[in-house]
Amino acid sequence: MFTGYPPYGTYQAPYAAYPIPPPGQPMTAAAALPHFTHFPQPPPGYPLYALQPARAPSPPPGPPTAPDIPTISPQIASNQVRKLIVTQLKMAEFEAIEPRALQRLELELVAFIQALYEQAHEYANLASRAIPVADDVLLACNDRGLKAKDLHSIALASRSAGWYWLRWVLAVHRRQQSLELPPSREASPELLSSDDEGTPPIIPTTLRSLPSYFPSLPPKHTYLKTPASPPKKAALPSLERKLKTAGLVQESLKNLLTATEDNLGQEDGELLGHIVNCEASMYPRKRWKVMQQ
C-alpha cells in the first residue's frame, strides 16, 4: 500500500557551500571545482532503472518484392525446344533425324515464335496497350497463316485424346528418348604436301654460300617470283611523231623572230616592245651645227 512520498529533506542531501575569496584574490582550483566522494542514494523503496541503449530507427517498409524465379539459361531453353520437336516428330511417325536438321528446325521454330510475339506486340501498341492480349495474338496468327479454325480443331483433337495423350507425352519426356544419329563419315585423306618431301631440296648456286643457321625459304606456292626490274616500255610511234612536230614548230618560230628583229642601234634593246627611234636609223652620225660669226 502506497503511504505517500517522504519529505524532501530525507532523501535529498543539501548542496555544499562554495567558499568565496575576498575581493582582489583569485579563486583556487580546489575551491572552484569541489569533488563529491559519493552521490546520495534514494530510499530503499524505489528501485534503480538502468538506461537502455538507443536503438537504430527501423527502415520504413518498402513495396513487396516478387518471388525469385529460377533463371532459364539458353541451354535449358534449347533442350526444351528440341524435346518438343522430337515429340512432334514421333507423333508424325518419324524414326530418325540428323543433328543439322534438328538444329535447323529449332532455329525456324524460335524465329517463328519471335516474329509472332513482335507482331502481336505491334497490335497492342496500336491499341495503346502495354502487353498483348488474346485478340492481338489471334490477329498475329492470322497474318502468319494460322487460322482460328485450325487452332480450334487442334484444341478439340487434343481435348478428345484426353488423359491418354497427356500421359504419353509425359512418358516421352521422362524417358528422354534420343533419336538415332546417322553413321559418321569416313576420315578425310591426308592432304598432299606442297613440296617434294622425299627428295632433297634444290638449293640455287647463289644461296649455297649462306650460313646454315639462316632460315630456309618458304614453300614455292607461298610467294611469287617476279623479275628484279620491270622491262622498259617502248615509246609509242604517235608520241614520237608529236614530239618531232613540236620541235619543228619551235625552230620555225625561233627563226621567224630572229629574221624580223631590228638590231640597228638597238643592240641592248628588247626583242619586242622596245622604243622605236627613227632618227637613229636615218642619221647614224651626229651632225654639228656651225654658226658664222
C-alpha–C-alpha distance, residues 88 and 165, integer Å: 12
Q: Which residues contact 141 (CB under 8 A, 6 or more apart)?
A: 116, 147, 148, 151
Q: What's the chain's average pLDDT?
A: 71
The per-residue pLDDT for range 197-250, each reduced to its tens digit, is: 666 767 778 878 888 888 877 777 777 777 777 767 766 778 888 888 999 999
Domain ranges of the chain: 75-175
pLDDT of residue 46: 54
pLDDT of residue 63: 61
Fold of 75-175: Histone, subunit A (1.10.20)
Mean pLDDT (whole number) for 65-79 = 74
The per-residue pLDDT for range 88-102, each reduced to its tens digit, is: 888 888 888 888 999
The per-residue pLDDT for range 127-157, each reduced to its tens digit, is: 888 888 888 888 888 888 887 777 777 767 6
